[in-house]
Amino acid sequence: MSIDKTDPFREARESDRTVVANYSDERIPMILRHREVRLAARDWQTYSSDAPCRVPIPEESDVRQVRQLPIEVDPPEHTDYRKLVLPFFQRPLDPTMAPKIEALVDTLLSEAMTKTSVDVVAEFALPLQSRALTHLLNMPMEESELWISWGTHVFRTGGDSLDTEQAGALDRYIEQQLDRAEDNPGADFFSELHRAQFKGRGLTREEMTGIANLTFAGGRDTIINLVSSGLGYLAQNPKALQQLRENPSLINTATEEFVRYFSPKTHIGRVATKTLDIKGEAVEVDQRVSLCWASANRDASVFEAPAEVRLDRKPNPHLGFGHGPHSCLGAPQARLVMRSVLKRLVERVSTLELITAEQAIEQIGGIERNVGFEQLHIRFSE
């Protein structure tokens, strides 16, 4: 039987086993079922995030020194860090944000329609993600040019190839911006980090760097993969595009369904605080386990016909944005970007035609999963 690379966990999940992600110095059993992933995500006392560079799989100690915040810390500190950054991450919920993101989509669609085809990954999703981030962080639009120039594969979190040199570019950039904001404060994200009060004191440079690092790294590949996967799907399924055009009220449910089906973040690590047994795999204290959102999102005990994309799926209790205390802070941004793409697409584009596509494959310690595209050329017609 060939393995469906969009869901390589199926057989193990359905026979109630685990799969182990094997790295040279580490074996990481994966939790695969929806209910069990949820329970583990909430049980931070057992499945701890208090582990610098070890929440992503593979771990990232070779590409960064700093502890990412708030993701690599447990409650109660986690709760306080999270509160500090929440106002920025909630900016997309403000109704004035949607027109701004839609305008970004419009510019990119107009450009795309003048060409015979565009690489949706590098020429659409990447610039969109970077430009949208200026609005989230309240920074000048010009900054996005530099972020775009870093390319699609900068400092992957949870991916396979980790690029030390590129990661160095991010570190230097964050350092510069924190210096700039200290000398010349404004109303931007970096300036607010200087103003923030944590337990009655200001943040240390290290804490500010850890927050900024996650903000830039966490929301990059994920949004790019979501947008590319969504557009790739619509190019291959003209009926789905038609369905959205006839019923734009499906845009929200379609966005959730794309997050579920494509699960841009496959999984995330936790460190065991006591010995565990993951379906027969022993886990010692301080060893890691994986919470596999992508597998949970295909659990047939929760989702009817889980391998089908149903744009009107509702309810859709997917775990694509995680679950529990660490659930994705960037979810409002990701949702707004995807919804804006779909909204302007159905209003302005008549057909999408797939020209060429090269699937990206995530290597998960011996397991392969499709996550987004290396390149995806699509023709957008008016």
Partner 1 sequence: MPLVKYIQHDGSERQIEVEVGQTVMQGAVDNMIDAIAAECGGACSCATCHCYVDESWRSKVPPANDIETEMLECAVEPAAGSRLSCQITVTDELDGLVVHLPESQY
List residues binding partner 1 (CB under 8 A). 35, 38, 42, 83, 86, 90, 93, 252-253, 255-256, 302, 313-321, 323-324, 327, 331-332, 335
| Residue whose CB is less far from ligand HEM, 141 or 282 | 141
| Least distance from partner 1 to the Cβ atom of residue 77, Å | 17
Q: Measuring CA to CA, which residue among 291, 222, 306, 219 is closest to residue 257?
A: 306
| Residue whose CB is less far from ligand HEM, 216 or 380 | 216
CB 343 within 8 A of CB 248: yes
Q: What angle do CA 195, 199, 203 make, to 5 degrees?
A: 40
- Whats the size of the chain, residue-wise? 382
Q: What angle do CA 306, 309, 315 make, to 5 degrees?
A: 65
Residue facing ligand HEM at closest CB distance: 330
The bridge status of strand 276-278 relative to strand 268-272 is unpaired
In the shown chain, the binding pattern of residues 185 to 214 toward ligand HEM, with x for contact by CB under 6 A and - for none, equals -----------------------------x
Distance of CA 325 to the CA centre of its chain: 16
The backbone region for 286, taken as left when phi is positive above 0, alpha when psi lies in -120 to 50, beta otherwise, is left
Distance of CA 70 to the CA centre of its chain: 15
Q: Per CB under 6 A, does 371 bind ligand HEM? A: no
SS3 57: coil
| Least distance from partner 1 to the Cβ atom of residue 256, Å | 4
Residue 215 interacts, among ligand HEM, partner 1, none and using kind-specific CB cut-offs from 5 to 8 Å, with ligand HEM
Residue 223 interacts, among ligand HEM, partner 1, none and using kind-specific CB cut-offs from 5 to 8 Å, with ligand HEM
| Residue whose CB is less far from ligand HEM, 49 or 295 | 49
| Residue whose CB is less far from partner 1, 78 or 323 | 323
Give backbone dihedrals phi and psi of 267, rounded to 5 degrees, phi first. -160, 175
Q: Per CB under 6 A, does 321 bind ligand HEM? A: yes
| Least distance from ligand HEM to the Cβ atom of residue 61, Å | 17
- Report the residue from 334, 341, 349, 360 that binds ligand HEM according to the rule CB under 6 A: 334
| Least distance from partner 1 to the Cβ atom of residue 1, Å | 31
The backbone region for 343, taken as left when phi is positive above 0, alpha when psi lies in -120 to 50, beta otherwise, is alpha
Residue 16 amino acid letter: D
Residue 64 interacts, among partner 1, ligand HEM, none and using kind-specific CB cut-offs from 5 to 8 Å, with none
Q: Per CB under 6 A, does 328 bind ligand HEM? A: yes
> Which residues between 119 and 138 bind ligand HEM (CB under 6 A)?
136
| Residue whose CB is less far from ligand HEM, 333 or 340 | 333
Write out the two tokens for 121.
């990954």
Q: Measuring CA to CA, which residue among 294, 303, 320, 257 is closest to residue 8?
A: 294
Q: Measuring CA to CA, which residue among 322, 325, 376 is closest to residue 352?
A: 376
Considering only the stretches 115-123, 149-157, 294-302, 322-330, report the one whose residues sit in contact with ligand HEM under the rule CB under 6 A: 322-330
Considering only the stretches 14-22, 23-31, 190-198, 316-324, report the one whose residues sit in contact with ligand HEM under the rule CB under 6 A: 316-324
| Residue whose CB is less far from partner 1, 64 or 335 | 335
CA distance 143 to 193: 18
Residue with tokens 């995500």: 41
- 375 - beta bridge partners? 358
Q: In this structure, what is the dihedral angle of CA atoms 298, 375, 311, 238, given to the nearest 10 degrees? A: -130
Q: Per CB under 6 A, does 158 bind ligand HEM? A: no
Contacting positions for ligand HEM (CB under 6 A): 49, 55, 70-71, 82, 136, 214-215, 218-219, 222-223, 226, 259, 264-265, 268, 293, 320-322, 326, 328-330, 333-334
